[in-house]
């Protein structure tokens, strides 16, 4: 069963707070026509943002990459206002931001003098209890474009990958490019091999996950050896632990990986994942 998702009670659209059924954009908005927009999701633990600056910095990086002139940091206070307005101060929540290039008559070239469309809202999310979960996943070919570092609203390949997993009864789809794991359809990916944590290096093939960076920092602080090195699917026989990370995922261990209808991995250990989860909980709720 797929979880039921609810609309937020209020959204911020281009300077106004509106009920969702009163918030409209043009059919010529370029995010609607081309996926020509950037989004960001920031977690709020009991009303307090975690790594807000890092999320806004990534939003700014992505907007700069697609040459949309917009100052992401103008949204800093609005994010808290969204939490207040939807009375999520005492709950766990996240703030969704979407900045599209804006509305213009359809053309592949980027029109001049175009006004961005800005959408922002808060929604409740379960950030507790992830340490009690494990996920069974599939691994399939990474069919995304070559700029996965850009958090584009054009998520069709991610949606198709995730749906393939969910429809077959799995929780996530681990993506493989030329034999090497990149990341999950909506999560960053880590492997523990001979006690050393491995994750795909930053660059155009993965999103620079904010949770991923925090896990890398925790490894450094705990003196757990980590290398930013891609893991090949044939190396799974040597892998002891796999976990995925993300803003709403947190840190979840992978119990098994199925590839082309064959189980190619079953978790052998959990001690490194457990240590990282423990410190992550302290840092996000401390």
Smallest separation (angstroms) from ligand PLP to the CB of 155: 8
> In whole angstroms, what is the distance from residue 213 CA to residue 236 CA?
23
By C-beta, is 103 or 250 nearer to ligand PLP? 250
Listing DSSP states for 74-96 in one string gives GGHHHHHHHHHHTT-TTS-EEEE
Contact 174, 164 (CB under 8 A): no
Give the binding site for ligand PLP (CB under 6 A). Answer: 158, 183, 186-188, 207, 209-212, 245-247
Rounded least distance, CB 146 to ligand PLP, Å: 14
Largest CA distance in the chain: 57
User: Vertex 268, ends 263 and 269: CA angle to 5°?
Assistant: 145
- Catalytic annotation, pick one of 57, 132, 151, 178: 151
Q: Which stretches within the chain are classed as H helix?
A: 30-34, 52-65, 76-85, 156-167, 210-221, 271-285
| CB nearer to ligand PLP: pick between 79 and 104 | 79
Residue 283 phi, psi (nearest 5): -70, -35
Least Cβ distance, residue 262 to ligand PLP (angstroms)? 25
Say whether 151 is catalytic. Answer: yes
The nearer residue to ligand PLP, 103 or 276, going by C-beta atoms, is 276
Q: Give me the least distance between CB of 252 and ligand PLP, in Å please.
A: 12
Q: Which is nearer to ligand PLP, 102 or 280 (CB)?
A: 280
Catalytic site residues? 151
């Amino acid at each position: 069963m797929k979880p039921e998702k609810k609309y937020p009670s209020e959204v911020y659209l281009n300077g106004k707070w509106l009920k969702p059924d009163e918030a409209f954009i043009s059919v010529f908005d370029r995010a609607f026509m081309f996926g020509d927009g950037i989004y960001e999701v920031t977690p709020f633990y009991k009303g307090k943002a975690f790594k807000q600056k890092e999320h806004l910095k990534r939003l700014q990086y992505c907007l700069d990459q697609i040459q949309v002139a917009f100052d992401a940091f103008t949204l800093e206070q609005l994010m808290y206002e969204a939490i207040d307005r939807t009375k999520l101060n005492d709950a766990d929540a996240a703030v969704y931001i979407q900045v599209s290039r804006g509305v213009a008559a359809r053309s592949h070239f980027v029109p001049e003098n175009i006004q961005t469309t800005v959408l922002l809202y808060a929604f409740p999310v379960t950030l507790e209890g992830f340490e009690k979960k494990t996920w069974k996943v599939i691994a399939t070919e990474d069919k995304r474009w070559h700029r996965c570092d850009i958090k584009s609203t054009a998520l069709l390949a991610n949606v198709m990958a995730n749906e393939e997993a969910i429809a077959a009864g799995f929780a996530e789809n681990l993506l493989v490019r030329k034999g090497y794991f990149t990341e999950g359809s909506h999560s960053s990916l880590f492997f523990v091999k001979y006690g050393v944590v491995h994750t795909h290096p930053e660059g155009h093939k993965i999103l620079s996950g904010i949770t991923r960076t925090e896990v890398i920092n925790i490894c450094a602080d705990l003196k757990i050896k980590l290398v930013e090195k891609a893991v090949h699917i044939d190396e799974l026989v040597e892998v002891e632990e796999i976990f995925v990370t993300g803003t709403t995922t947190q840190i979840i261990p992978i119990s098994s990986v199925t590839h082309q209808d064959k189980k190619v991995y079953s978790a052998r250990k959990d001690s490194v994942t457990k240590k990282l989860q423990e410190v992550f909980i302290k840092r996000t709720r401390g």
